[in-house]
A and B are shown apart, each in its own frame.
Chain A
Amino acid sequence: MKILVCIKQVVCSESSLKLNPDGKWIQETDSTEFRMNRFDEYALEEALLIKETNPNVTIDVVSVGPDRVKEVIKKGLSKGADNGVHILNEELGYCPPRKIAQQLADYAGKQSYDLILTGVMAEDDMLCQVGPMTAAFLSIPCAVSVVKEEIDMLNRIITVQSEMESGKVEEVVLSLPALLTIQTGINQPRYPSLSNIVRANSQELIVVQESFQDDPTDKVLLLSIDYPAKSSTICILEGSAEEKAEQLLTIFHNKSLLK
Chain B
Amino acid sequence: MYKKQILITETIENQISPSYKELLGFGASIHPDGENRILLIIPGQNIKELAEQIAIENNIHTLAVEHEDLRYPNPHLLEKILPEVIRKYMPSNICMMHNVRTCQIAASLSIQIDRPCITGVESYEIQNERSVFTRMMFNGKLIGKTTCKADQFILTIIPGAFCGSFTPDRTIQHEKTEIIKINENASAYKPIRIIETISKDNRLEEADVVVSAGMGIEIKERIDLIKKIASIFSNAAIGGSRIVCDHGWLPYACQIGETGKQVSPKLYIACGISGTMQHTAGMKKSGCIVAINKDPNAPIFSIADYGVVEDLQSFLPILAARYDDRKKNP
Flag B314-330 by CB within 8 Å of A: 1 or 0 each: 11001100110010000
Residue A116, interface by CB 8 Å: no
Across-interface contacts of B234 in A (CB, < 8 A): 257-259
Q: Which of A128, A137, A229, A248 contacts B111 (CB 8 A)?
A: A137
Q: Which of B103, B148, B252, B315 contacts A129 (CB 8 A)?
A: B103
Residue A81, interface by CB 8 Å: no
Across-interface contacts of A140 in B (CB, < 8 A): 188
Contact B307 A16 (CB under 8 A): no
Q: Which of A165, A173, A218, A258 contacts B116 (CB 8 A)?
A: A218
Chain A nearest CB, measured from B107 CB (Å):
4
Task: Sort chain A's interface into a size bin.
Answer: 35 or more
Flag A186-215 by CB within 8 Å of B: 1 or 0 each: 001000000000000000000000000000
Flag B293-328 by CB within 8 Å of A: 1 or 0 each: 001010101111111111000110011001100100
| Chain B residue at minimum C-beta to C-beta distance from A256 | B234
User: A255 with B194: in contact, given A137-B111, A241-B314 (CB under 8 Å)?
Assistant: no
Contact A144 B111 (CB under 8 A): no
Residue A55, interface by CB 8 Å: no
Contact B148 A125 (CB under 8 A): no
User: Which of A159, A163, A231 has most chain B Cβ within 10 Å?
Assistant: A231
Chain B interface, DSSP helix/strand/loop, else mixed: mixed
Across-interface contacts of A225 in B (CB, < 8 A): 137, 142-145
Contact B100 A126 (CB under 8 A): no
User: A17 with B267: in contact, given A167-B197, A218-B150, A258-B234 (CB under 8 Å)?
Assistant: no
Contact A171 B233 (CB under 8 A): no
Residue B225, interface by CB 8 Å: no
Across-interface contacts of A165 in B (CB, < 8 A): 99, 258-259
Across-interface contacts of A145 in B (CB, < 8 A): 100-101, 259
A19 to B138, CA, bound (A): 12
- Jot down 26 A-B pairs with beta carbons below 8 A, ordered by A: A13-B138, A16-B295, A128-B103, A132-B103, A136-B79, A137-B111, A161-B195, A165-B258, A166-B261, A170-B192, A171-B192, A175-B189, A185-B245, A217-B150, A227-B143, A230-B302, A234-B301, A234-B305, A234-B307, A241-B318, A245-B319, A249-B323, A252-B233, A257-B209, A257-B235, A257-B267
